[in-house]
Amino acid sequence: MEPTLSPAGYAALTILILPLAAALVTTLCPRRDPERSANLSIGAIAIGFILSLGLFAFTGDKAMETNFNWLVVGDLKVSFGLLLDPLSKLMLLVVTGVGLMIHIYSRGYMSGDRGFSRYFASLSLFTFSMLGIVLANNLFMMFVFWELVGVSSYLLIGFWFEKNSAADAAKKAFLTNRVGDFGFILGIILTWAALGSLNFTEMAWLVEKGAQSTDKSGGTLLSLGFSLLAEPLGKIAGGTHWWTVHPNVLVTLVGLLLFMGAMGKSAQFPLHVWLPDAMEGPTPVSALIHAATMVAAGVFMLCRIFFILDIPGSHALEFIAWIGGVTALLAALMALQQNDIKRILAYSTLSQLGYMVMAVGLRAPGPAMFHLTTHAAFKALLFLGAGSVILACHHEQNIWKMGGLRDAMPRTWWTFRWGTLALCGVWPFAGFFSKDAILAAALDPAHRNIPLFVLGVFVAGLTTFYMSRLVLVAFCGNARSEEASHAHESPGVMTWPLVVLAIPTLLAGAVGIDAYIAKLFPGEHPPHNEGFLDNLFAPFNHNILAAGFGLLAVVAGYQLARTLYVNADRDRLPEKIGVLAKMARDRFYFDELYEWFISVTQETLARIADWFDCWIVAGLLVRGTHGTTELVGRALRLVQTGSLQTYAFLFAAGVVLVLAWQLLGNSPTH
């Protein structure tokens, strides 16, 4: 089949291919010129950003799709295709826009590093993989790029691989993701078995059609498809009729397995442990991974396959909502007692991702994508600001050794403050609108969940508390170390991206992104507002309860942080909450638990393998063979007397025996 590409398709393909080309040129060129490789990567993503803007502005809401057959084996057709719909166009804009700022910032941050070219090659590879996930039109292709993202994040987290901690963090991220990806591919296989297609458009059509038409027994056609699958599965499991899978169980299982992929990539509890460690990478990488791309991939994927999670009879969404809620709460608690500026941001990312996943679980993928978009902007801003601070303090990351940076670094200070306000959810910053949309979703009569709403408000308070702590300790007060007192503003190549990112941090909430996404998901109520000013006050009209409680939590959190941390020299929180502070500081012992679990299981496995090797392989097989041969040899040696006459006697006796047997034994039969 000869693919025909529309101009928009060509543009999308160009956006996808350019970063790959940049990475290849930089990697394969024998002579590495740092300047050239940086320019190539920045150029590739800049063109991508411009094309994305064009796609966003000039193509309609109708989804466009291009499909190539990539691999055909019997019934299995694996296609490679690009899907352009509002969801992917929005994500394109986020990835290329935030990515471009991070690329430019990296030029300043990484200047002089020995691996400068390698850094930009990895960055471009990462961008390529992420864009592949965004543009993929089927689950299989998404999985391929999903794995590519895993590999390139491994390269970037372990960029300073001479440091043991960085190499370990890279391994940890890769392995933790592998656990999630294993579930993801199982989910993909089950989906293919049940629906016979992995193409998003086709699957959505099948699901919709299946949900509408009912068969004779009253179940939907779709659950019929799943029950068809249930039968062979039952055969595999038991071979008898007493063990059959209920279609609803299977639908839920598929949803949960697919969610496992998101659990790994978006670092949801209990696979969240890799993300804080990933801070070992260069700071712009942290911004790229934790803001715009890798962690967003999980949420994006959940929104893409939302129709599978939402099949009637599936209970996956309830589980997803609670996992998101638990992640948000745990991460916020852990952030309370961290002292590393990047780690605080990492835990806040975890917490915000928890919000997004919770929103998906609350049947509100629109607000989830909305929060993802605004979060990408302000979290990238915060990370890049943190990078600027770290560089100014000569790679000091402990906030208790900073202080007073407000006057030394004015541009970093006000952009960082804007990012913080957005993260806390202060009106009119972008974070307020998206967080409010999620809280409102928890109160939506269609899928009301009061416990999760309370949890969300509480986490919003915690967020304000730890972010205020960070800002008050690091930027205000007096300098607490030599480095901090000599800090000065970073160069323009690093501060200008901050300024650019500060614009969407302020405005992204009210420009109508939520209405744009809402068109994708039927069943949501798109806010119909006329203009910017209407949007600005929409949350208060829409659901005053959510907005009110959200703002109340912010005020409470800030007041609490102010009493504790204004002009503080040390952290007085542990005195107040005691053992909880220690647990939060030690991250609730998840790492220790996993370490214990892995060492126990691995130790057991190793012992069994050792026992098997020692007794079965080396003992029974090797030494057993050798022992038997030797024993038989020794016994036979006794026969060799060396005496001629013994031999003669044995020979004669043998002859007599054979004769006797032949003549006496056989004769009656003749």
Nearest 5°: the CA angle 30, 35, 36 is 55
Nearest to 361 by CA among 398, 318, 390: 318
Please report, as ranges, the residues that interact with another protein according to CB under 8 A. Answer: 637, 640-645, 648-649, 652
Torsion over CA: 578, 469, 271, 602 (sign)? negative
Distance CA 155, CA 43 (A): 22
In the bound state with another protein, the residue whose beta carbon lies nearer, of 544 and 648, is 648
Least distance from C-beta 661 to another protein, angstroms? 18
Least distance from C-beta 646 to another protein, angstroms? 9
DSSP conformation letters of 247-305: HHHHHHHHHHHHHHHHHHHTT-TTSTTHHHHGGGS-HHHHHIIIIISHHHHHHHHHHHT
Distance CA 77, CA 197 (A): 9
Distance CA 493, CA 109 (A): 9
In the bound state with another protein, the residue whose beta carbon lies nearer, of 164 and 645, is 645
Contacts of 299 (CB under 8 A, 6+ apart): 262, 266, 353, 356, 357, 360, 368, 369, 372
In the bound state with another protein, the residue whose beta carbon lies nearer, of 217 and 640, is 640
457 contacts 439 by C-beta, under 8 angstroms = yes
In the bound state with another protein, the residue whose beta carbon lies nearer, of 637 and 670, is 637
Nearest to 322 by CA among 248, 268, 249, 267: 268
Least distance from C-beta 670 to another protein, angstroms? 20
Least distance from C-beta 654 to another protein, angstroms? 13
In the bound state with another protein, the residue whose beta carbon lies nearer, of 552 and 652, is 652
In the bound state with another protein, the residue whose beta carbon lies nearer, of 533 and 648, is 648
Least distance from C-beta 652 to another protein, angstroms? 6
Least distance from C-beta 595 to another protein, angstroms? 60
List strand residue ranges (DSSP E) for 116-209, in order: none
Contacts of 160 (CB under 8 A, 6+ apart): 166, 280, 281, 282
Least distance from C-beta 655 to another protein, angstroms? 9
Distances (CA, A) of 95 to 43, 102, 292, 294, 497: 15, 10, 6, 10, 15
In the bound state with another protein, the residue whose beta carbon lies nearer, of 450 and 636, is 636
506 alpha-carbon distance from chain centroid: 26
Least distance from C-beta 641 to another protein, angstroms? 6
Nearest 5°: the CA angle 10, 307, 80 is 30
Least distance from C-beta 651 to another protein, angstroms? 10
In the bound state with another protein, the residue whose beta carbon lies nearer, of 488 and 634, is 634
In the bound state with another protein, the residue whose beta carbon lies nearer, of 112 and 642, is 642
Distance CA 107, CA 114 (A): 13
Least distance from C-beta 643 to another protein, angstroms? 6
Distance CA 178, CA 75 (A): 28
SS3 364: coil
In the bound state with another protein, the residue whose beta carbon lies nearer, of 488 and 637, is 637
Nearest to 436 by CA among 499, 507, 355, 363: 355
